[in-house]
Each structure stands twice: as structure tokens, then as C-alpha cells.
Amino acid sequence: MKRIGILTSGGDAPGMNACIRAAVRAALANNLTVVGIRRGYTGLIATDTVPLDRAAIRNIIHQGGTILETSRSPDLYTREGRLRVAEAIGKMGLDGVILIGGDGTFHGASLVAADADTAPLVGVPGSIDNDVYGTDYCIGFDTAANCAVEAIDRIRDTARSHERLFFLEVMGRTAGFLALESGIAGGAEELIIPEEETSIAPMSERIRKGFDIGKKSAIVVVAEAKTPGISFQIAGEVKKHLDLDSRVVILGHLQRGGPPTLRDRVLGSSLGVAAVEALLEGRSECMVGEVGGALAYTPLEETWKKKKPLNENLRRIFSILSD
């Protein structure tokens, strides 16, 4: 193995640059040439590349986003597009490719490997949604969760001052990891996540009882699910049961930006090194992750075919603390 490529695909996540930096340094330490592929699979098909050396990765560990840029490529949904990906890998003379992204990134990679004889592919989980099977935490999740907790803390101040009910909507797509952990850390009164069916009337009654016993505020953390902005609809339904002044705050893409936390920098760095070492060991069509504090290798196909479950103990803890 002499020459590898690195790309970021799908949604950006804080800590991706730390991962790129670590992978490049690990590759250079093993006398490998590293090619940065810009704009994910779209740039791969177009052979849009940039050389990655020590100068290229200098002073990026603290930066959010991704220096390689990213995109979501429709080409992966056709066999012709996947063959073009494999052809581009061969044309660039790559002996392996590291793919930093989420389940969509790995879905595409496993389909490419199934359709064509291509260089080894190793994935690194980068997603603020934290919904990738095969790892306890994805790069970017901790930063996004801390952003949500800071927002809850700030909103609590103004909510208490006006005795208001706030609905705080966080990202997460069809998974409630971000809502659950930020809800616990922020002391939220209620939680609405895709994994649980929420009945508006009983929830409204619980909120009312809280104010009756002297609470000055209440915060409901809402996972956006498949409908970003759904908090406005939920607030409207609650209003039918509860005569309280309420507001809606949608964090949106604010959660994706900003410097990565210590946890995301360390996770990105460790998984970046692990990805290079996996290629050197001859591994392919797998994702490197962390499970129980130990390095884990998961077949790419499993990362998107298997659903990652929420931590049941954390769900139990939230129900106790919010009572």
C-alpha cells in the first residue's frame, strides 16, 4: 500500500478535521501518500483532489466543518454512478479510501464494493445524529449535544423570568440520541423522540402539575424526526390543553458549527489513526468505531442495515429525573 484517499460525505460534523489530521499524520508516519478528495463522492467521481501533507493539515484540529468539504451524491443510487466511483478510485491509483460520514456514506460504499472490484474501503463514523450502528458515539455528537445543553441553560433563564413553557427542537433525524442526552444534561421536563409515542394530553397535564407546585418554567426537548419545525405543531396541540405562555426555539444547523469539544477531537483523532491502521492490516468494507471504550470493526453493510438502539438505561434515568 502506497497511496490512499480521504473524503468526507453527507452532513458535516465537528471533529471531522481532527480525524483528517490524524489519518494524514498516521499515513505519513507509514510512508503513504495521501490524497484529499473534495466534496465527497461527487468530488471522487470528478477526481477533484488536493494533496494532503503536513502543511495542509496544520492548525485544523480546532476547526469545525471539514476542510475537504462535503456533499450528498445522487450518483450512488444508480449502478452506473457506483461504477463511476470505482473507476475514479482506480484512475487515481488509490490503494485504499477512508470515508468519514454517516450511514448514508457507508450504504453507498458497501454498494460500490458489491458492484465493482475496488480498493479497500474503511469508514469512520461522523454524524451529530449519533445513529450509526457499530459505535457508541459518532464524531460530532458531543459537540452538538453540548450546543443543545448550552441553549437549554440560556433558555431556562428567560423562561423562568417570564414563567414560560419552551419547546426546544434539536436535530437527530429519525433518532433521539441528541434529544435524550441533552434533555438529561439540561434538566428538561419532557422529551419527545421518534422512538416513543407521545400523548399530548398526559404530557400537558404533567407540565401543568409542575407549575401548580411552584415551578417557574418548563422545557420540552423535541427531536426533529422527519419533520424539521414540528415543534410548532406540537406547541399548538399543547396549547389546546394548557393555558401557558409558550415559545418555540429551533436550533437547526447551529448544532453543526463551531469548534469541536475535547471528546470529539480525541475521538476523531483515535478513529483517524485506527482507519489508517485498518487499511495497513488489510481490512476492507468495514467501519472503525468505539464500543465500550474499545476499538471495534463493523462491516459497512451492518452500519446501515442494523438500527442502533437508544440507551435504555438513559431513557429510564430521564423518566426518573423528569418526574
The catalytic residue positions are 129
Helix axes 16-29, 262-280, angle to 10 degrees: 40
Closest residue by Cα to residue 137 from 18, 294, 313: 294
DSSP string, 142-202: HHHHHHHHHHHHHHHHHHHHHT-EEEEEE--TT--HHHHHHHHHHT-SEEE-TTS---HHH
Which residues have a Cβ under 8 Å from the Cβ of 290 and sit 6 or more positions away? Answer: 135, 136, 137, 267, 270, 271, 296
* Grid cell for residue 294: 474499545
Beta pairing, strands 121-125 & 49-51: unpaired
* Grid cell for residue 216: 417557574
What is the Cα–Cα distance from 310 to 172, expressed in whole angstroms?
12
* Grid cell for residue 255: 448544532
* Grid cell for residue 67: 476542510
Distances (CA, A) of 159 to 211, 230, 257, 323: 12, 20, 25, 19
Which residues have a Cβ under 8 Å from the Cβ of 182 and sit 6 or more positions away? Answer: 145, 148, 149, 152, 170, 188, 221
By three-state DSSP, how is residue 309 classified? coil
